[in-house]
A and B are shown apart, each in its own frame.
Chain A
Amino acid sequence: MYGLVKTRHFTKTSVTTSVFAGFAIALSGTAIAAERPFGLGTLATAEQIAGWDIDVRPDGKGAPIGSGTAADGEEVYAERCAGCHGDFGEGVDRWPILAGGLGSLVTADPVKTVGSYWPYASTVYDYVYRAMPFGEAQSLTHDETYQVVAYILNMSDVIDDEFVLSNETIGSVKMPNQSGFMLPDPRPDGQLASAPCMQTCEVSTKIIGRARIIDVTPDKQ
């Protein structure tokens, strides 16, 4: 599916041709391409980029050098993650559930977890490193991140205890729901006729549900 994404077309994306044309001219003119038209900004150094370029792609591009196993990750997880996500990834209070939910996506109560829903292992690394622990972003080392991601993947039996998750292997991990996503966006869908009914339309006007009775609206402030 990842290959499909790369080759998808953008027939539904409206492109302002004038902007596009202008851009094409700018690219084809080597004099312009070689110069900065506005002369603004400063060249970024490799060191500056390395500090901020933290994203990891499904093919493993961007994964920093490091490694860890689920067995290694147990301690980090217990210390840094379990407080919100629970010892078994079950989620404390309303904090996200990390494991389980397999087979639930077709039910009335889908449980979207790393195991049941997330299509790529790289996403877990990317997200955990940049945003977790909640309120202590980018505080895990790369090895700690590989360890804890391995632990989370192991909770859903994606990898075993001893699998060494690393910059070399993360692009090859196959997630259970990797084929669970559809492209391209099929909308617009479900719309009414282009000349919608204006008079004596045949619709049901019976009230079948009332927000007031459900009573989950916050009290007035």
Chain B
Amino acid sequence: MDQKKTKNTLSRRQVLGGTAAALGSVAAIPYASAAESNPANLPPNVPEWTPYLGAGVDVNPYGMPSEHESHVIRRNVEWLTASTESSINFTPLQDLDGIVTPNGLCFERHHGGVPEVVPADYRLMINGLVDRELIFTIDDLKRFPQVNRFHFLECAANGGMEWRGAQLNGCQYTFGMVHNVQYSGVRLSDICREVGVKPSAKWVLAEGGDSAGMNRSVPIEKILDDCMIAYSMNGEALRPEQGYPARLVVPGWEGNMWVKWIRRLEFGDAPYMAREETSKYTDLMESGKARMFTWVMDAKSVVTSPCPEKQMMAKGQNLLKGLAWSGRGKITRVDVSLDGGVNWTTAELHGPVLSKSLTRFTMPFEWNGEEMKVQSRAMDETGYVQPTIQALQKERGVNSIYHNNSIATWFVKSNGEVENVRLG
């Protein structure tokens, strides 16, 4: 594999010809993707895959990406956590187009590993301040009226390593705790009608069946507004690592609340103050006091190409690509700067532009080998504008870990290399 990549880099340089000379150090492409180029496959020759029959329909009952895309994977940062069972990996945003994250690339965050839930033995229990304490099977859940909605799921700690400065040199590691899929499932408001929620119920404890027994308190207003119990993502059953066979969907709010392998909802008159909502997902300010119940994910955006993993390959016409999202509604505008925030151009938003969903933007541009400091700045339908890191630091200091939705800077060098940098 390594050898292939090395050869590939050389051949790519040959193909690029004159441009490659100017891009000498691009030999160190971190995530080279194309297979080794063989002139015998190029025009006017007949490529090697043409004369012979390929694989039949019985070869891949469940299709996988091309072997040439094997670099497009989730990655983790080993030093972040004590064990991989209570840890996180990152979505390779830099390799994706559109707004849908393929199921196998959705970042994972577990607190006790991925349980192997047997669907026939799966149960969702509803108890507490309800008229009828009920237990549902997965088949019961699938008999409720169905809703299908696209939503992003972002970990509150996305970008958390970047509060003090540029630390991780990659789009994947600094923005990849987010994914966006279409969920199919049941409105929680329908389940609430089925159990008959008592007027005194103000909070719902959502609890998972994993080894962490993940539990979070959700206010009843949110439960009734747009929460759902999802059993499918992107058309197929939830992946085990995303909560199979059912998870809570809390649109626009921090991912930790989207309890996976959900086994119980308890209705109560006060928050439960679970470990994750007190000792963990609270935001420590300079005063030594912490913000609590900071649920919404504020508007954010990132340029996914160029980025540290997607270096500039050639001068001339190029395409800048990125993603924007807001937990408060739809993205209305994304501006892009190539000079560190001095001058901005409004990028093109690509539909569908959905509420609390990733939104794709692109901007064609010409590159002549000059240095660039690439930034993007999202706005949402509430009028909110994505802040600079300095603005967030001024409000919150540098110890809050969570909810860093600030503008990042990718520094493009004249040789095409791209670095995560901090301006100031």
Contacts and interface: CB of A to CB of B under 8 A. Distances in A.
Interface of A: 2, 5-6, 10, 12-16, 19-20, 22-23, 26-27, 32-34, 36-38, 40-44, 48-49, 52-55, 57-59, 61, 84, 93-96, 105-106, 108, 110, 112, 114, 117-120, 122-123, 126-127, 130-131, 134-135, 137-138, 180-194, 196-201, 203-212, 214, 216-218, 220-221
* Interface SS majority for chain A: loop
Given A137-B213, A207-B423, A208-B422, 14 more contacts: A5-B270, A23-B192, A27-B199, A40-B194, A120-B273, A131-B212, A181-B291, A193-B385, A196-B335, A199-B343, A209-B421, A216-B79, A217-B77, A221-B75
Interface string B252-296: 000000000001101011111111001100101111111111111
Interface residues of B, number: 121
A190 B78 CA distance: 32
Given A57-B272, A59-B270, A218 B77 contact: yes
Contact of A41 (B134, B165, B340): B134
A180 B377 CA distance: 33
Given A40-B194, A182-B291, A217-B170, A209 B134 contact: no
A207 B144 CA distance: 55
Contacts of A94: 81-82
Interface string B314-344: 0000000000000011000001000111111
A138 B127 CA distance: 20
B173 to A, nearest CB: 6
The 5 closest A-B pairs by CB, nearest first: A205-B340, A130-B213, A209-B422, A41-B134, A94-B82
B30 interface: yes
A106 B193 CA distance: 46
Contacts of A211: 166-170, 308, 419-421
Contacts of A127: 274-275
A207 B290 contact: no
Interface string B178-211: 0000000001011011111101001001010001
B7 interface: no
A61 B279 CA distance: 20
Nearest to B423: A205
Given A123-B273, A181-B278, A183-B292, A207 B422 contact: yes
A196 to B, nearest CB: 5
Interface stretch (B61-69, B233-241, B362-370, B393-401): B393-401
B125 to A, nearest CB: 6
B111 interface: yes
Given A16-B226, A44-B125, A209-B166, A5 B271 contact: yes
A94 B80 CA distance: 9
Contact of A38 (B194, B202, B292): B194
A62 B10 CA distance: 66
B78 A218 contact: yes
Given A94-B82, A198-B335, A212-B419, A13 B264 contact: no
B166 A191 contact: no
Contacts of A84: 82
A135 B113 CA distance: 9
Contacts of B170: 211, 217
A186 to B, nearest CB: 7
Nearest to A40: B140
B224 interface: yes
A110 B288 CA distance: 9
Interface stretch (B48-56, B98-106, B214-222): B214-222
A84 B196 CA distance: 44
B402 to A, nearest CB: 11
B165 A209 contact: yes
A49 B143 contact: no
Contact of B341 (A189, A201, A218): A201
Contact of B196 (A6, A33, A218): A33
A101 to B, nearest CB: 11
A153 to B, nearest CB: 14
B415 to A, nearest CB: 14
Given A38-B143, A105-B284, A191 B391 contact: yes
Contacts of B274: 55, 123, 126-127
Contact of B273 (A96, A122, A199): A122
